[in-house]
């Protein structure tokens, strides 16, 4: 078990506080820490601190998992964002992210969902396949890392492009979690009630190789009663926030060799 709950010990005066105040703008500006895998294409600065094939928490700089090391995590919230990425060739002259939206009815979302428009010409480089815009659906899990040296604050774990199949497989694991309620009826367990393990795996296809995530059920599948209360509170809080995800620029968009894979 973890010691997460002891981090949540409150001063006695807060018992008398019955409503929140001053959080309106805070809720509009949540920029969570992110879990990223160090890839062959990651920056020299990251590879100087970590090994290729490690999952790390940024900006804290904590190594979490590798092919030989597992870390337990709890998903507390899931949301989808649609992102248009400028080509890597324009980094430095254009922002990495060209546009993004949460609106699943938007033109950008439709491009991200259509294999024919996963890639499109950049207006400055028509016909140049090496300098195309990438339109990616981002499957974003806010997770709590079950390690005593990591604060119990949700971090972003994002799946897209070559990693989308791994994110969808995790959704299947979560959906398969059921329990029997007090009336004896089967119910799907809340997303924030389950414990899972994260490790790194080698992935490849005919076009190249990269590092991906393997998400499995933890040996102890469910959180404790105390953790459940905390994670439920985090879930409700995240539902009311506008999350500004920092996807990074080094490994969020696969190289052309990595981009052709199953979805």
Give the closest residue to 79 by CA, choosing from 203, 197, 239, 195: 239
Going along the chain, which residue ranges are E strands?
Answer: 34-37, 55-58, 62-65, 71-85, 97-101, 119-121, 132-145, 155-159, 178-180, 186-188, 194-205, 208-222
Q: Enumerate the domain spans of the chain.
A: 5-258
Q: pTM of the predicted model, to two decimals?
A: 0.84
pLDDT of residue 262: 35
Average of per-residue pLDDT values in the chain: 86
pLDDT of residue 250: 46
User: Residue 61 pairs with which residues in a beta bridge?
Assistant: none
pLDDT in tens, 58-97: 999 999 999 999 999 999 999 999 999 999 888 889 999 9
In this predicted structure, the answer to whether residue 148 has a pLDDT above a threshold of 60 is yes
pLDDT of residue 27: 61
Helix (H, G, I), strand (E, B) or coil at 57: strand
pLDDT of residue 161: 84
pLDDT of residue 162: 81
Burial class (CB in 10 A: 0-12, 13-18, 19+), 105: exposed
In this predicted structure, the answer to whether residue 254 has a pLDDT above a threshold of 90 is no
What letter would DSSP give residue 190?
A: P
**Which residue would you say has higher pLDDT here, 248 or 45?**
45
pLDDT of residue 263: 29
Q: Distance between CA atoms of 203 and 223, rounded to whole angstroms?
A: 30
């Amino acid at each position: 078990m973890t010691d997460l709950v002891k981090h949540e010990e409150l001063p006695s005066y807060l018992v008398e506080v019955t409503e929140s105040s001053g959080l309106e703008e805070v809720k509009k500006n949540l920029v969570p820490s992110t879990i990223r895998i160090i890839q062959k294409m990651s920056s020299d600065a990251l590879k100087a601190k970590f090994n290729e094939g490690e999952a790390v928490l940024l900006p804290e700089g904590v190594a979490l998992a590798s092919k030989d090391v597992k870390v337990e995590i709890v998903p507390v919230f899931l949301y989808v964002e649609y992102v248009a990425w400028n080509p890597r060739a324009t980094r430095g002259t254009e922002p990495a992210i060209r546009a993004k939206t949460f609106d699943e009815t938007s033109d950008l979302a439709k491009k991200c969902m259509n294999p024919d428009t996963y890639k499109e010409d950049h207006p400055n480089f028509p016909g140049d396949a090496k300098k195309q815009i990438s339109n990616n659906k981002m499957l974003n899990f806010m997770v709590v890392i079950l390690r005593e040296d990591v604060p119990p604050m949700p971090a972003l774990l994002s799946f897209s492009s070559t990693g989308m199949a791994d994110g969808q497989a995790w959704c299947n694991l979560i959906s398969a979690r059921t329990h029997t309620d007090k009336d004896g009826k089967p119910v799907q367990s809340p997303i924030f009630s389950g414990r899972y393990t994260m490790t790194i795996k080698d992935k490849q296809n005919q076009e190249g190789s990269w590092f991906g995530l393997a998400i499995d059920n933890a040996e102890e599948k469910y959180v404790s009663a105390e953790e459940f209360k905390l994670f439920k509170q985090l879930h409700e809080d995240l539902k009311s926030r506008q999350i500004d995800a920092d996807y990074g620029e080094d490994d969020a968009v696969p190289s052309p060799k990595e981009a052709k894979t199953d979805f």
